[in-house]
Amino acid sequence: MPSELQSELRNLWKKYRPALSDDLLDVYFSETYNPANLCMSRNEAGEMTACCQMLMRRMTFFDHSISIGILTALAIDTNLKAAERKEAARNVIARQHQRMAQKGALISMAFPADNEERQLLESCGYHTASHIIEADPQVPETSTTDDSLTVAEETEWGRDIWTFYNRNGGGHDFEMKMDEGDFFALIAQNDAAGGCLIVARRRGRIAGLALARREGKPLKSGKPSSKIFRTRIPFILAIQEDIFYALLRYAGSTHNDCKQTVVSTACPLKGFEGSRPYAMARAIRAEEFLAEMARITPGLQLEIGIGNDEDLPENNGSYRLRNGRCYSNATCSSSTTTPGGIPAIFMAGHPTVIPPVFLWE
């Protein structure tokens, strides 16, 4: 039986995001939920007005792993007035930033569900750091596979698929590494949406996997079509190019009424027609983050300041990167940015790969 707190959270999320199904919420509570990582605000009557969860993860920056905090599962009481909603949300987000700092996160990442949430996060110091796009990769006619490779849907999610991801995934530059709960939540989320898990095996050993689902092709309004469908792959991992194409071919054959197969993939902020804003970021421990960037990119020369960080005022000040070191003082530089502008300097030109785990997409 769900606890009283879980019932409260479920009701708040259902009001805030009505499209969330009970199946998806079940996935969250079984794989991702941790009451110790929640922050909540309540009104004088004791009713919950806002909540969000923090996840501590690792991310690769220039081939080096750093600690990051993920802000996720945000919900706000829709009965509140606009100013009250913003105040309640900013309260829980600020507390999560302080907890991330205590746990050693250098930056925080967030994934807004809509433009209103994006604007809210901007007011909390975040900056859009990456876009996402649905690419339509074409399988080359010359792409073939040998008889040792089999590709099939699998309905049992054995530990071998997690072992395959843990050994081969999450290591690209600007990619977040999922933990085991994230990984199985991603598969369960896709399954709840009517999708399937496709696994490629070479001589019985896993060589690649993909998640695929049928969905209405987006109209100009942004809403999904009820007449024209496509197959979308929100996650794919293969150890070789021919296996990647074999997974694409199989995914494209799963639904006869789908005429297109697309892959959701991250891309830099500019230069990709049809892309849309995705990941947002902000500095949590700014001086440590910049010191790490200086250490791993010793040729970088940068002078920047941070101002108006209300959640973490210790970040405010001036920073100078020279010869692999970061120097700071409390006086703001003439070139001042927000807390979100700091990680965006390094991330804006790179695709930020964050698997679409529950409530992030």
Q: What does the pLDDT look like over 205-234, one tens digit per residue? A: 999 999 999 999 888 887 888 899 999 999
Report the alpha-carbon distance of residue 346 to residue 298 in Å, rounded: 14
Please give the single-letter amino acid code of residue 177. Answer: K
**Does residue 161 sit in the same domain as residue 88?**
no
Residue that finishes a domain, picked among 267, 293, 327: 267
> How much is the pLDDT for 317?
92
> How much is the pLDDT for 333?
65
C-alpha distances (whole Å) from 25 to each of 20, 29, 40, 326 are 7, 6, 18, 43
Mean pLDDT, all residues of the chain: 90
- 317 within a domain of the structure (yes/no): yes
**Does residue 156 sit in the same domain as residue 248?**
yes
Split at pLDDT 50, 70, 90, the class of 359 is low
What percent of the chain has a predicted confidence (pLDDT) above 90?
Answer: 63
* Mean per-residue pLDDT, 15-26: 88
- 237 within a domain of the structure (yes/no): yes
Residues sharing a CB contact under 8 Å with residue 31, sequence separation 6 or more, in sequence order? 181, 182, 184, 185, 188, 358
> How much is the pLDDT for 311?
96
Q: What is the DSSP letter of 32?
A: I
pLDDT of residue 144 exceeding 80: no
* Strand order across the 276-277 sheet: 149-153, 196-202, 205-218, 224-238, 258-267, 131-135, 276-277
**Does residue 260 sit in the same domain as residue 293?**
no
Enclosing H/E stretch for 307? none
Q: What does the pLDDT look like over 303-324, one tens digit per residue? A: 999 988 999 999 999 999 999 9
The residue ranking higher by pLDDT, 332 or 134, is: 134
C-alpha distances (whole Å) from 133 to each of 31, 43, 81, 273 are 27, 40, 34, 9
| Residues 39 and 19 sit within 8 Å (Cβ to Cβ) | no
- What's the gap between Cα 95 and its chain centre? 20
**Does residue 80 sit in the same domain as residue 117?**
yes
- 278 within a domain of the structure (yes/no): no
| Residues 208 and 200 sit within 8 Å (Cβ to Cβ) | yes
- 274 within a domain of the structure (yes/no): no
> How much is the pLDDT for 2?
62
> How much is the pLDDT for 318?
93
Total domain count, the chain = 3
pLDDT of residue 23 exceeding 90: no
**Does residue 161 sit in the same domain as residue 252?**
yes
**Does residue 171 sit in the same domain as residue 86?**
no
Enclosing H/E stretch for 10? helix 4-16
> How much is the pLDDT for 215?
92
| 3-state secondary structure at position 179 | coil
| 3-state secondary structure at position 234 | strand
pLDDT of residue 358 exceeding 60: no
**Most confident stretch, 17-31, 35-49, 142-156:** 35-49
Report the alpha-carbon distance of residue 43 to residue 51 in Å, rounded: 12
> How much is the pLDDT for 240?
92
Determine how β-strand 48-61 pairs with β-strand 224-238.
unpaired
**Does residue 123 sit in the same domain as residue 232?**
no
Q: What does the pLDDT look like over 233-277, one tens digit per residue? A: 999 999 999 999 999 999 999 888 998 999 998 888 876 888 888
- 63 within a domain of the structure (yes/no): yes
Q: What does the pLDDT look like over 67-126, one tens digit per residue? A: 999 999 999 999 999 999 999 999 999 999 999 999 999 999 999 988 999 999 999 999
**Does residue 221 sit in the same domain as residue 145?**
yes
> How much is the pLDDT for 276?
87
**Does residue 206 sit in the same domain as residue 164?**
yes
- Which residue range is the domain that position 53 belongs to? 4-130
Q: Residue 124: which CATH number? A: 3.40.630.30
- 352 within a domain of the structure (yes/no): no
Report the alpha-carbon distance of residue 339 to residue 124 in Å, rounded: 9
* Mean per-residue pLDDT, 130-156: 85
**Does residue 75 sit in the same domain as residue 14?**
yes
Split at pLDDT 50, 70, 90, the class of 66 is very high
**Does residue 152 sit in the same domain as residue 258?**
yes
pLDDT of residue 159 exceeding 90: yes
Split at pLDDT 50, 70, 90, the class of 3 is confident
